[in-house]
Amino acid sequence: MLNTLTVWNFALLEHIQIEFDKGLNILTGETGAGKSILIDALGAMLGNRLSTELIRHGREWLRVEAVFSLEDQPNVVAFLEENAIDTAENELIITRQITSSGRGSILINGCHTTLAVLKNLGGLLVDVHGQNENLSLLKQENQFQLVDGYGRELGSALAEYRELYKALKEAEGKLSEKENASRDYEQRLDMLRWQIQEIEAAQLQENEDEELQRQINKLSNAEKISRYAGEACGLLYGGGNNGIGVVSGLEEAVESLKALSRFDDALEEVIRVLGEAAIQVKEAGYEVRDYAESMEFDPRLLDRLQSRMDVIDKLRRKYGATIGDILAYYDKCQQELADIENYDEDIARLQEAVNGAREAARKAAGRVTELRRAAAGDLSDAIEGHLTALGMPDARFVIDVQPSESLGASGGDRLEILFSANPGQEPKPIQKVASGGELSRIALAIKTVTASRDTSPASMVFDEIDTGIGGKTAQMVAERIAMAAAGKQVLCITHLPQIACMADNHLYISKHVADNQTSTEVRSLSEGERINEIARMASGANVSSASLDNAREMIAYAKIKKEGYRKHG
Protein backbone atom coordinates (compact mmCIF):
# COMPACT_ATOMS: atom_id res chain seq x y z
CA MET A 1 0.00 0.00 0.00
CA LEU A 2 1.18 3.53 -0.81
CA ASN A 3 1.65 5.49 2.42
CA THR A 4 3.21 8.77 1.32
CA LEU A 5 4.29 10.54 -1.85
CA THR A 6 6.74 13.44 -1.59
CA VAL A 7 7.63 15.63 -4.57
CA TRP A 8 10.22 18.37 -5.08
CA ASN A 9 10.44 20.65 -8.14
CA PHE A 10 8.19 18.53 -10.36
CA ALA A 11 6.55 20.96 -12.83
CA LEU A 12 3.97 22.93 -10.80
CA LEU A 13 4.72 20.88 -7.68
CA GLU A 14 7.37 22.80 -5.74
CA HIS A 15 7.30 20.70 -2.58
CA ILE A 16 4.37 18.62 -1.41
CA GLN A 17 3.97 15.56 0.79
CA ILE A 18 0.74 13.58 0.55
CA GLU A 19 -0.40 11.02 3.11
CA PHE A 20 -2.59 8.29 1.65
CA ASP A 21 -4.95 6.02 3.61
CA LYS A 22 -6.43 2.58 3.10
CA GLY A 23 -9.59 2.42 1.08
CA LEU A 24 -10.62 5.13 -1.38
CA ASN A 25 -8.40 8.20 -1.78
CA ILE A 26 -10.18 10.80 -3.92
CA LEU A 27 -8.30 13.65 -5.60
CA THR A 28 -10.36 16.62 -6.79
CA GLY A 29 -9.68 20.18 -7.86
CA GLU A 30 -10.21 22.65 -10.63
CA THR A 31 -9.12 21.77 -14.15
CA GLY A 32 -5.43 22.60 -14.60
CA ALA A 33 -4.67 22.51 -10.88
CA GLY A 34 -2.12 19.73 -11.36
CA LYS A 35 -3.98 16.47 -10.76
CA SER A 36 -2.45 14.79 -13.80
CA ILE A 37 1.00 16.05 -12.79
CA LEU A 38 0.54 14.25 -9.48
CA ILE A 39 -0.24 11.01 -11.32
CA ASP A 40 2.86 11.59 -13.47
CA ALA A 41 4.94 11.92 -10.30
CA LEU A 42 3.52 8.65 -9.02
CA GLY A 43 4.26 7.10 -12.42
CA ALA A 44 7.92 8.03 -11.96
CA MET A 45 7.89 5.79 -8.87
CA LEU A 46 6.57 2.92 -11.00
CA GLY A 47 9.23 3.06 -13.71
CA ASN A 48 7.91 5.66 -16.17
CA ARG A 49 10.63 7.72 -17.80
CA LEU A 50 11.57 11.13 -16.41
CA SER A 51 12.42 14.11 -18.60
CA THR A 52 14.44 17.17 -17.68
CA GLU A 53 11.52 19.18 -19.09
CA LEU A 54 9.57 18.27 -15.96
CA ILE A 55 12.04 20.11 -13.69
CA ARG A 56 10.38 23.19 -12.22
CA HIS A 57 11.43 26.44 -13.88
CA GLY A 58 14.46 27.95 -12.19
CA ARG A 59 15.48 24.72 -10.43
CA GLU A 60 18.39 22.40 -11.16
CA TRP A 61 16.79 19.09 -10.17
CA LEU A 62 13.57 17.30 -9.33
CA ARG A 63 13.02 14.48 -6.85
CA VAL A 64 10.14 12.15 -6.09
CA GLU A 65 9.95 9.79 -3.12
CA ALA A 66 7.30 7.20 -2.30
CA VAL A 67 6.90 5.08 0.83
CA PHE A 68 5.02 1.78 0.55
CA SER A 69 4.03 -0.70 3.23
CA LEU A 70 5.10 -4.28 2.51
CA GLU A 71 2.47 -5.82 4.76
CA ASP A 72 0.60 -8.67 3.04
CA GLN A 73 2.58 -8.22 -0.20
CA PRO A 74 4.53 -11.50 -0.60
CA ASN A 75 5.07 -10.97 -4.35
CA VAL A 76 6.76 -7.62 -3.73
CA VAL A 77 8.89 -9.00 -0.88
CA ALA A 78 9.98 -11.96 -3.01
CA PHE A 79 10.96 -9.62 -5.87
CA LEU A 80 13.00 -7.38 -3.54
CA GLU A 81 14.80 -10.35 -1.99
CA GLU A 82 15.54 -11.74 -5.45
CA ASN A 83 17.19 -8.42 -6.29
CA ALA A 84 19.14 -8.28 -2.98
CA ILE A 85 17.14 -5.31 -1.66
CA ASP A 86 16.60 -5.13 2.12
CA THR A 87 13.05 -5.71 3.41
CA ALA A 88 13.80 -5.94 7.13
CA GLU A 89 11.76 -2.84 8.06
CA ASN A 90 8.65 -4.12 6.23
CA GLU A 91 8.72 -0.83 4.35
CA LEU A 92 9.69 0.18 0.84
CA ILE A 93 11.15 3.60 0.03
CA ILE A 94 11.68 4.52 -3.61
CA THR A 95 13.55 7.72 -4.50
CA ARG A 96 14.14 9.09 -8.00
CA GLN A 97 16.02 12.22 -8.94
CA ILE A 98 17.06 13.85 -12.18
CA THR A 99 19.21 16.93 -12.70
CA SER A 100 19.00 19.56 -15.43
CA SER A 101 22.05 17.93 -17.04
CA GLY A 102 20.08 14.69 -17.44
CA ARG A 103 21.89 12.76 -14.70
CA GLY A 104 19.43 10.52 -12.88
CA SER A 105 19.46 8.11 -9.96
CA ILE A 106 17.08 5.48 -8.60
CA LEU A 107 17.23 4.23 -5.01
CA ILE A 108 15.14 1.41 -3.59
CA ASN A 109 15.57 1.09 0.17
CA GLY A 110 18.93 2.79 -0.20
CA CYS A 111 20.15 0.49 -3.01
CA HIS A 112 21.02 1.98 -6.39
CA THR A 113 19.16 0.14 -9.13
CA THR A 114 18.10 0.33 -12.78
CA LEU A 115 14.98 1.62 -14.47
CA ALA A 116 14.15 -1.91 -15.65
CA VAL A 117 14.13 -3.21 -12.06
CA LEU A 118 11.97 -0.28 -10.94
CA LYS A 119 9.52 -0.85 -13.79
CA ASN A 120 9.13 -4.53 -12.89
CA LEU A 121 8.69 -3.60 -9.23
CA GLY A 122 6.16 -0.90 -10.11
CA GLY A 123 3.95 -3.47 -11.81
CA LEU A 124 3.75 -5.34 -8.50
CA LEU A 125 3.02 -2.22 -6.43
CA VAL A 126 0.33 -0.25 -8.27
CA ASP A 127 -2.19 -1.05 -11.01
CA VAL A 128 -2.73 2.15 -13.01
CA HIS A 129 -5.81 2.59 -15.21
CA GLY A 130 -5.85 5.72 -17.32
CA GLN A 131 -8.15 6.99 -20.03
CA ASN A 132 -5.58 6.58 -22.81
CA GLU A 133 -3.63 3.53 -21.58
CA ASN A 134 -3.69 -0.04 -22.77
CA LEU A 135 -4.86 -1.95 -19.75
CA SER A 136 -2.88 -4.86 -18.44
CA LEU A 137 -6.09 -6.76 -19.10
CA LEU A 138 -5.02 -7.05 -22.75
CA LYS A 139 -1.96 -9.11 -21.85
CA GLN A 140 -2.42 -12.85 -22.13
CA GLU A 141 -0.55 -13.65 -18.90
CA ASN A 142 -2.75 -11.21 -16.96
CA GLN A 143 -5.88 -12.79 -18.39
CA PHE A 144 -4.77 -16.14 -17.02
CA GLN A 145 -4.02 -14.54 -13.63
CA LEU A 146 -7.48 -12.99 -13.64
CA VAL A 147 -9.27 -16.30 -14.09
CA ASP A 148 -6.88 -18.40 -12.02
CA GLY A 149 -7.14 -15.97 -9.10
CA TYR A 150 -10.93 -16.27 -9.13
CA GLY A 151 -11.34 -20.05 -9.02
CA ARG A 152 -11.54 -21.47 -5.50
CA GLU A 153 -10.02 -24.90 -6.26
CA LEU A 154 -7.98 -23.75 -9.23
CA GLY A 155 -4.90 -22.76 -7.23
CA SER A 156 -4.20 -26.22 -5.85
CA ALA A 157 -4.97 -27.87 -9.20
CA LEU A 158 -2.56 -25.50 -10.93
CA ALA A 159 0.16 -26.16 -8.34
CA GLU A 160 -0.21 -29.91 -8.91
CA TYR A 161 -0.12 -29.44 -12.68
CA ARG A 162 2.99 -27.24 -12.55
CA GLU A 163 4.89 -29.88 -10.59
CA LEU A 164 3.99 -32.47 -13.23
CA TYR A 165 4.80 -30.01 -16.02
CA LYS A 166 8.20 -29.39 -14.44
CA ALA A 167 8.82 -33.16 -14.36
CA LEU A 168 7.79 -33.35 -18.03
CA LYS A 169 10.24 -30.59 -19.05
CA GLU A 170 13.04 -32.32 -17.13
CA ALA A 171 12.29 -35.63 -18.86
CA GLU A 172 12.18 -33.92 -22.26
CA GLY A 173 15.46 -32.19 -21.46
CA LYS A 174 17.18 -35.50 -20.71
CA LEU A 175 15.81 -37.04 -23.92
CA SER A 176 16.89 -34.04 -25.99
CA GLU A 177 20.36 -34.12 -24.45
CA LYS A 178 20.69 -37.80 -25.30
CA GLU A 179 19.46 -37.25 -28.86
CA ASN A 180 21.77 -34.30 -29.42
CA ALA A 181 24.71 -36.28 -28.09
CA SER A 182 23.99 -39.07 -30.58
CA ARG A 183 25.15 -36.88 -33.47
CA ASP A 184 28.73 -37.19 -32.29
CA TYR A 185 28.47 -40.81 -31.18
CA GLU A 186 30.22 -42.47 -34.14
CA GLN A 187 33.28 -40.29 -33.82
CA ARG A 188 33.21 -40.62 -30.05
CA LEU A 189 32.91 -44.41 -30.26
CA ASP A 190 36.05 -44.64 -32.36
CA MET A 191 37.94 -42.45 -29.93
CA LEU A 192 36.77 -44.39 -26.86
CA ARG A 193 37.64 -47.75 -28.36
CA TRP A 194 41.11 -46.53 -29.39
CA GLN A 195 41.79 -45.09 -25.93
CA ILE A 196 40.57 -48.24 -24.17
CA GLN A 197 42.72 -50.40 -26.43
CA GLU A 198 45.78 -48.21 -25.84
CA ILE A 199 45.41 -48.43 -22.05
CA GLU A 200 44.63 -52.15 -22.12
CA ALA A 201 47.70 -52.85 -24.27
CA ALA A 202 49.92 -51.24 -21.63
CA GLN A 203 48.74 -53.76 -18.97
CA LEU A 204 49.38 -51.29 -16.21
CA GLN A 205 49.82 -52.31 -12.58
CA GLU A 206 49.09 -50.02 -9.65
CA ASN A 207 52.29 -48.19 -8.49
CA GLU A 208 54.28 -49.90 -11.23
CA ASP A 209 55.89 -46.61 -12.20
CA GLU A 210 57.42 -46.15 -8.75
CA GLU A 211 59.19 -49.53 -8.86
CA LEU A 212 60.33 -48.88 -12.43
CA GLN A 213 61.82 -45.55 -11.47
CA ARG A 214 63.69 -47.17 -8.58
CA GLN A 215 65.23 -49.81 -10.85
CA ILE A 216 66.11 -47.27 -13.54
CA ASN A 217 67.87 -45.09 -10.97
CA LYS A 218 69.82 -48.15 -9.75
CA LEU A 219 70.94 -49.30 -13.21
CA SER A 220 71.70 -45.79 -14.41
CA ASN A 221 74.10 -45.34 -11.48
CA ALA A 222 75.51 -48.89 -11.41
CA GLU A 223 79.16 -47.76 -11.72
CA LYS A 224 78.92 -45.40 -8.77
CA ILE A 225 77.01 -47.95 -6.73
CA SER A 226 79.69 -50.62 -7.42
CA ARG A 227 82.50 -48.24 -6.43
CA TYR A 228 80.81 -47.16 -3.20
CA ALA A 229 79.99 -50.77 -2.26
CA GLY A 230 83.62 -51.85 -2.92
CA GLU A 231 84.96 -49.02 -0.76
CA ALA A 232 82.61 -50.04 2.02
CA CYS A 233 83.75 -53.67 1.82
CA GLY A 234 87.39 -52.58 1.96
CA LEU A 235 86.75 -50.55 5.09
CA LEU A 236 84.89 -53.39 6.73
CA TYR A 237 87.30 -56.21 5.86
CA GLY A 238 90.62 -54.52 5.32
CA GLY A 239 92.36 -52.03 3.15
CA GLY A 240 91.64 -49.14 5.47
CA ASN A 241 94.16 -47.38 7.74
CA ASN A 242 96.93 -49.75 8.86
CA GLY A 243 95.34 -52.38 6.56
CA ILE A 244 92.96 -53.43 9.32
CA GLY A 245 89.23 -53.64 8.52
CA VAL A 246 86.45 -52.62 10.89
CA VAL A 247 85.33 -56.23 11.41
CA SER A 248 88.85 -57.51 12.13
CA GLY A 249 89.57 -54.55 14.38
CA LEU A 250 86.46 -55.17 16.49
CA GLU A 251 87.21 -58.88 16.80
CA GLU A 252 90.82 -58.23 17.87
CA ALA A 253 89.67 -55.60 20.38
CA VAL A 254 87.21 -58.06 21.91
CA GLU A 255 89.91 -60.75 22.21
CA SER A 256 92.34 -58.29 23.85
CA LEU A 257 89.71 -57.18 26.36
CA LYS A 258 88.79 -60.75 27.17
CA ALA A 259 92.48 -61.40 27.97
CA LEU A 260 92.45 -58.29 30.16
CA SER A 261 89.35 -59.49 32.02
CA ARG A 262 91.34 -62.39 33.53
CA PHE A 263 92.99 -59.80 35.70
CA ASP A 264 90.18 -57.25 36.12
CA ASP A 265 86.47 -57.72 35.28
CA ALA A 266 85.67 -53.99 35.29
CA LEU A 267 85.22 -54.01 31.50
CA GLU A 268 82.86 -57.00 31.27
CA GLU A 269 79.97 -54.83 30.00
CA VAL A 270 82.21 -53.17 27.42
CA ILE A 271 83.33 -56.59 26.21
CA ARG A 272 79.70 -57.65 25.85
CA VAL A 273 78.73 -54.53 23.91
CA LEU A 274 81.73 -54.75 21.60
CA GLY A 275 81.14 -58.45 21.05
CA GLU A 276 77.55 -57.83 19.95
CA ALA A 277 78.70 -54.95 17.77
CA ALA A 278 81.31 -57.15 16.12
CA ILE A 279 78.66 -59.76 15.30
CA GLN A 280 76.20 -57.15 13.86
CA VAL A 281 78.90 -55.36 11.85
CA LYS A 282 80.15 -58.71 10.54
CA GLU A 283 76.60 -59.66 9.42
CA ALA A 284 76.12 -56.23 7.81
CA GLY A 285 79.44 -56.68 6.08
CA TYR A 286 78.28 -59.96 4.58
CA GLU A 287 75.26 -58.18 3.10
CA VAL A 288 77.37 -55.36 1.70
CA ARG A 289 79.80 -57.87 0.18
CA ASP A 290 77.00 -59.97 -1.34
CA TYR A 291 75.38 -56.77 -2.72
CA ALA A 292 78.70 -55.65 -4.24
CA GLU A 293 79.31 -59.08 -5.78
CA SER A 294 75.80 -59.24 -7.25
CA MET A 295 75.93 -55.75 -8.71
CA GLU A 296 76.35 -55.76 -12.43
CA PHE A 297 75.35 -53.32 -15.20
CA ASP A 298 72.97 -54.73 -17.82
CA PRO A 299 72.39 -52.08 -20.55
CA ARG A 300 69.69 -54.20 -22.21
CA LEU A 301 67.67 -54.38 -18.97
CA LEU A 302 68.03 -50.63 -18.49
CA ASP A 303 66.82 -50.07 -22.05
CA ARG A 304 63.76 -52.27 -21.45
CA LEU A 305 62.93 -50.48 -18.20
CA GLN A 306 63.26 -47.07 -19.81
CA SER A 307 61.10 -48.15 -22.73
CA ARG A 308 58.43 -49.31 -20.30
CA MET A 309 58.63 -45.99 -18.45
CA ASP A 310 58.24 -44.16 -21.78
CA VAL A 311 54.99 -46.02 -22.38
CA ILE A 312 53.71 -45.05 -18.94
CA ASP A 313 54.81 -41.40 -19.35
CA LYS A 314 52.97 -41.20 -22.66
CA LEU A 315 49.78 -42.45 -21.04
CA ARG A 316 50.22 -40.10 -18.08
CA ARG A 317 50.45 -37.13 -20.41
CA LYS A 318 47.16 -38.15 -22.03
CA TYR A 319 45.02 -39.58 -19.28
CA GLY A 320 46.26 -38.62 -15.79
CA ALA A 321 49.15 -37.78 -13.53
CA THR A 322 49.40 -41.24 -11.97
CA ILE A 323 48.71 -44.82 -12.97
CA GLY A 324 45.71 -44.67 -10.66
CA ASP A 325 44.37 -41.70 -12.68
CA ILE A 326 44.94 -43.55 -15.94
CA LEU A 327 43.08 -46.63 -14.69
CA ALA A 328 40.22 -44.40 -13.44
CA TYR A 329 39.99 -42.79 -16.88
CA TYR A 330 39.95 -46.27 -18.39
CA ASP A 331 36.96 -47.22 -16.22
CA LYS A 332 35.19 -43.99 -17.23
CA CYS A 333 35.74 -44.75 -20.92
CA GLN A 334 34.40 -48.25 -20.43
CA GLN A 335 31.24 -46.87 -18.80
CA GLU A 336 30.72 -44.24 -21.51
CA LEU A 337 31.26 -46.85 -24.21
CA ALA A 338 28.66 -49.07 -22.58
CA ASP A 339 26.23 -46.11 -22.36
CA ILE A 340 26.70 -45.27 -26.03
CA GLU A 341 26.38 -48.87 -27.12
CA ASN A 342 23.15 -49.03 -25.10
CA TYR A 343 21.91 -45.83 -26.84
CA ASP A 344 18.78 -47.36 -28.31
CA GLU A 345 17.75 -48.81 -24.98
CA ASP A 346 18.40 -45.48 -23.24
CA ILE A 347 16.44 -43.53 -25.84
CA ALA A 348 13.52 -45.93 -25.48
CA ARG A 349 13.65 -45.64 -21.70
CA LEU A 350 13.81 -41.83 -21.81
CA GLN A 351 11.03 -41.66 -24.39
CA GLU A 352 8.89 -43.86 -22.18
CA ALA A 353 9.58 -41.51 -19.25
CA VAL A 354 8.59 -38.50 -21.39
CA ASN A 355 5.39 -40.19 -22.50
CA GLY A 356 4.48 -41.05 -18.93
CA ALA A 357 5.23 -37.53 -17.70
CA ARG A 358 3.25 -35.99 -20.56
CA GLU A 359 0.27 -38.22 -19.89
CA ALA A 360 0.29 -37.27 -16.20
CA ALA A 361 0.62 -33.57 -17.06
CA ARG A 362 -2.18 -33.74 -19.62
CA LYS A 363 -4.46 -35.40 -17.11
CA ALA A 364 -3.72 -32.66 -14.58
CA ALA A 365 -4.14 -30.02 -17.31
CA GLY A 366 -7.57 -31.44 -18.09
CA ARG A 367 -8.57 -30.93 -14.47
CA VAL A 368 -7.28 -27.36 -14.66
CA THR A 369 -9.27 -26.76 -17.85
CA GLU A 370 -12.44 -28.03 -16.20
CA LEU A 371 -12.00 -25.78 -13.15
CA ARG A 372 -10.83 -22.84 -15.28
CA ARG A 373 -13.92 -23.01 -17.48
CA ALA A 374 -16.15 -23.02 -14.43
CA ALA A 375 -14.28 -20.06 -12.91
CA ALA A 376 -14.29 -18.20 -16.25
CA GLY A 377 -18.04 -18.68 -16.58
CA ASP A 378 -18.77 -17.41 -13.07
CA LEU A 379 -16.38 -14.50 -13.48
CA SER A 380 -17.81 -13.55 -16.90
CA ASP A 381 -21.35 -13.49 -15.50
CA ALA A 382 -20.31 -11.38 -12.51
CA ILE A 383 -18.42 -8.88 -14.67
CA GLU A 384 -21.26 -8.68 -17.18
CA GLY A 385 -23.66 -7.86 -14.37
CA HIS A 386 -21.51 -4.95 -13.23
CA LEU A 387 -21.15 -3.71 -16.82
CA THR A 388 -24.94 -3.51 -17.02
CA ALA A 389 -24.98 -1.38 -13.89
CA LEU A 390 -22.19 0.78 -15.34
CA GLY A 391 -24.38 1.94 -18.20
CA MET A 392 -23.65 -0.89 -20.65
CA PRO A 393 -26.89 -2.93 -20.52
CA ASP A 394 -26.26 -4.75 -23.79
CA ALA A 395 -22.63 -5.62 -23.09
CA ARG A 396 -21.56 -9.22 -23.38
CA PHE A 397 -18.34 -10.30 -21.68
CA VAL A 398 -17.06 -13.81 -22.29
CA ILE A 399 -13.86 -15.44 -21.09
CA ASP A 400 -13.39 -18.25 -23.59
CA VAL A 401 -11.27 -21.20 -22.45
CA GLN A 402 -10.32 -23.77 -25.07
CA PRO A 403 -7.90 -26.71 -24.83
CA SER A 404 -4.61 -26.27 -26.69
CA GLU A 405 -2.57 -28.83 -28.55
CA SER A 406 0.50 -28.02 -26.48
CA LEU A 407 1.15 -27.74 -22.77
CA GLY A 408 2.63 -24.67 -21.13
CA ALA A 409 3.37 -23.25 -17.71
CA SER A 410 -0.28 -22.21 -17.32
CA GLY A 411 -1.71 -25.52 -18.47
CA GLY A 412 -3.07 -26.77 -21.77
CA ASP A 413 -5.49 -23.95 -22.52
CA ARG A 414 -5.92 -21.03 -24.90
CA LEU A 415 -7.67 -18.17 -23.20
CA GLU A 416 -9.32 -15.21 -24.90
CA ILE A 417 -11.54 -12.43 -23.57
CA LEU A 418 -14.39 -11.61 -25.95
CA PHE A 419 -16.53 -8.49 -25.77
CA SER A 420 -19.51 -6.92 -27.44
CA ALA A 421 -21.02 -3.58 -26.42
CA ASN A 422 -24.04 -3.60 -28.74
CA PRO A 423 -26.97 -5.97 -29.28
CA GLY A 424 -26.85 -8.18 -32.34
CA GLN A 425 -23.05 -8.29 -32.43
CA GLU A 426 -21.17 -11.44 -31.58
CA PRO A 427 -18.44 -10.98 -28.96
CA LYS A 428 -14.99 -10.51 -30.49
CA PRO A 429 -11.47 -10.26 -28.99
CA ILE A 430 -11.52 -7.39 -26.54
CA GLN A 431 -8.35 -5.75 -27.86
CA LYS A 432 -10.00 -5.38 -31.29
CA VAL A 433 -13.41 -3.97 -30.38
CA ALA A 434 -13.29 -2.22 -26.98
CA SER A 435 -12.74 1.54 -26.90
CA GLY A 436 -10.64 3.30 -24.28
CA GLY A 437 -13.73 4.28 -22.28
CA GLU A 438 -15.15 0.76 -22.50
CA LEU A 439 -11.85 -0.71 -21.36
CA SER A 440 -11.93 1.58 -18.32
CA ARG A 441 -15.44 0.42 -17.41
CA ILE A 442 -14.47 -3.20 -17.97
CA ALA A 443 -11.43 -2.76 -15.76
CA LEU A 444 -13.59 -1.22 -13.06
CA ALA A 445 -16.09 -4.06 -13.30
CA ILE A 446 -13.27 -6.61 -13.05
CA LYS A 447 -11.74 -4.88 -10.05
CA THR A 448 -15.14 -4.69 -8.37
CA VAL A 449 -15.53 -8.45 -8.69
CA THR A 450 -11.97 -9.52 -7.92
CA ALA A 451 -10.45 -6.83 -5.67
CA SER A 452 -10.75 -8.88 -2.50
CA ARG A 453 -9.72 -12.17 -4.12
CA ASP A 454 -7.00 -11.67 -6.71
CA THR A 455 -3.23 -11.32 -6.29
CA SER A 456 -2.92 -8.06 -8.21
CA PRO A 457 -1.12 -5.03 -6.67
CA ALA A 458 -2.41 -3.72 -3.36
CA SER A 459 -2.99 -0.24 -4.83
CA MET A 460 -4.98 0.90 -7.87
CA VAL A 461 -5.15 4.25 -9.63
CA PHE A 462 -8.14 5.38 -11.70
CA ASP A 463 -7.26 8.52 -13.65
CA GLU A 464 -10.47 10.36 -14.66
CA ILE A 465 -12.45 7.18 -15.23
CA ASP A 466 -15.58 9.35 -15.08
CA THR A 467 -14.96 11.12 -18.40
CA GLY A 468 -18.15 11.34 -20.46
CA ILE A 469 -20.56 9.88 -17.89
CA GLY A 470 -23.13 11.32 -15.52
CA GLY A 471 -26.42 10.70 -13.77
CA LYS A 472 -27.23 7.11 -12.85
CA THR A 473 -24.15 5.73 -14.60
CA ALA A 474 -21.95 8.04 -12.55
CA GLN A 475 -23.58 6.73 -9.39
CA MET A 476 -22.99 3.13 -10.48
CA VAL A 477 -19.33 3.88 -11.28
CA ALA A 478 -18.95 5.50 -7.87
CA GLU A 479 -20.41 2.49 -6.09
CA ARG A 480 -18.15 0.08 -7.91
CA ILE A 481 -15.08 2.11 -7.17
CA ALA A 482 -16.09 2.01 -3.53
CA MET A 483 -16.61 -1.75 -3.78
CA ALA A 484 -13.09 -2.17 -5.17
CA ALA A 485 -11.74 0.07 -2.39
CA ALA A 486 -13.23 -2.27 0.21
CA GLY A 487 -10.48 -4.76 -0.66
CA LYS A 488 -7.73 -2.57 -2.16
CA GLN A 489 -6.26 0.88 -1.76
CA VAL A 490 -7.68 3.04 -4.56
CA LEU A 491 -6.49 6.45 -5.77
CA CYS A 492 -9.03 8.14 -8.02
CA ILE A 493 -9.00 11.51 -9.79
CA THR A 494 -12.55 12.63 -10.46
CA HIS A 495 -14.77 15.57 -11.39
CA LEU A 496 -17.97 13.85 -10.28
CA PRO A 497 -19.51 14.46 -6.84
CA GLN A 498 -21.08 10.98 -6.92
CA ILE A 499 -17.57 9.48 -6.85
CA ALA A 500 -16.01 12.09 -4.55
CA CYS A 501 -18.58 11.51 -1.80
CA MET A 502 -17.38 7.88 -1.52
CA ALA A 503 -13.93 9.01 -0.35
CA ASP A 504 -12.27 7.62 2.76
CA ASN A 505 -9.61 10.30 2.30
CA HIS A 506 -10.49 13.36 0.22
CA LEU A 507 -7.48 15.26 -1.14
CA TYR A 508 -7.97 18.68 -2.70
CA ILE A 509 -5.51 19.95 -5.31
CA SER A 510 -5.22 23.66 -5.91
CA LYS A 511 -2.76 26.08 -7.42
CA HIS A 512 -1.77 29.61 -6.51
CA VAL A 513 0.61 32.27 -7.81
CA ALA A 514 3.27 33.95 -5.68
CA ASP A 515 6.20 36.05 -6.87
CA ASN A 516 5.15 35.34 -10.43
CA GLN A 517 5.56 31.58 -9.81
CA THR A 518 2.68 29.08 -10.02
CA SER A 519 2.64 26.27 -7.43
CA THR A 520 0.30 23.39 -6.74
CA GLU A 521 -0.76 22.41 -3.25
CA VAL A 522 -2.42 19.23 -1.98
CA ARG A 523 -4.23 18.95 1.34
CA SER A 524 -6.60 16.54 3.01
CA LEU A 525 -10.08 18.01 3.52
CA SER A 526 -11.91 18.08 6.83
CA GLU A 527 -15.53 16.92 7.00
CA GLY A 528 -16.82 20.47 6.54
CA GLU A 529 -14.45 21.17 3.68
CA ARG A 530 -15.56 17.94 1.99
CA ILE A 531 -19.16 19.07 2.09
CA ASN A 532 -18.24 22.39 0.50
CA GLU A 533 -16.11 20.74 -2.19
CA ILE A 534 -18.80 18.20 -3.14
CA ALA A 535 -21.38 20.99 -3.23
CA ARG A 536 -19.06 22.96 -5.54
CA MET A 537 -18.56 19.92 -7.79
CA ALA A 538 -22.33 19.38 -7.98
CA SER A 539 -23.52 22.97 -8.49
CA GLY A 540 -20.49 24.90 -9.69
CA ALA A 541 -19.20 28.12 -8.19
CA ASN A 542 -22.58 29.15 -6.71
CA VAL A 543 -22.75 27.01 -3.58
CA SER A 544 -26.15 27.35 -1.94
CA SER A 545 -27.57 25.97 1.27
CA ALA A 546 -29.57 23.51 -0.84
CA SER A 547 -26.42 22.28 -2.54
CA LEU A 548 -24.72 21.93 0.84
CA ASP A 549 -27.66 19.90 2.17
CA ASN A 550 -27.48 17.74 -0.94
CA ALA A 551 -23.75 17.20 -0.38
CA ARG A 552 -24.40 16.10 3.20
CA GLU A 553 -27.04 13.64 2.02
CA MET A 554 -24.67 12.26 -0.62
CA ILE A 555 -21.92 11.73 1.98
CA ALA A 556 -24.34 10.10 4.41
CA TYR A 557 -25.66 7.79 1.69
CA ALA A 558 -22.09 6.96 0.63
CA LYS A 559 -21.17 6.10 4.21
CA ILE A 560 -24.01 3.58 4.45
CA LYS A 561 -23.02 2.04 1.12
CA LYS A 562 -19.35 1.72 2.09
CA GLU A 563 -20.16 0.09 5.41
CA GLY A 564 -22.20 -2.48 3.53
CA TYR A 565 -19.36 -3.17 1.07
CA ARG A 566 -16.85 -3.64 3.88
CA LYS A 567 -19.21 -5.85 5.84
CA HIS A 568 -19.84 -8.19 2.93
CA GLY A 569 -16.25 -7.97 1.61
Contact 561, 502 (CB under 8 A): yes
The reported pLDDT for the residue numbered 80 is 92
**What does pTM read for this prediction?**
0.62
Structure letter (DSSP) for residue 205? -
Contact 309, 212 (CB under 8 A): yes
Report pLDDT digits (tens) over 71-106: 888 889 999 999 999 888 889 999 999 999 999 999
Nearest to 320 by CA among 204, 231, 181: 204
End-to-end CA distance of the chain: 18
Residues (pLDDT < 70) of the chain are 130-138, 183-184, 239-243, 436-437, 451-455, 464, 467-468, 541, 568-569
Contact 523, 509 (CB under 8 A): no
The reported pLDDT for the residue numbered 134 is 42
Question: Where do the domains of the chain lie, and which CATH numbers do they carry?
Answer: 2-149+454-568 (3.40.50.300), 186-341 (no CATH)
Report pLDDT digits (tens) over 200-259: 998 888 888 888 888 888 888 877 888 887 888 788 877 555 567 888 888 888 888 888
Nearest to 41 by CA among 520, 525, 488: 520
The reported pLDDT for the residue numbered 132 is 45
- CB-based burial label for 545 (10 Å; 0-12, 13-18, 19+): exposed
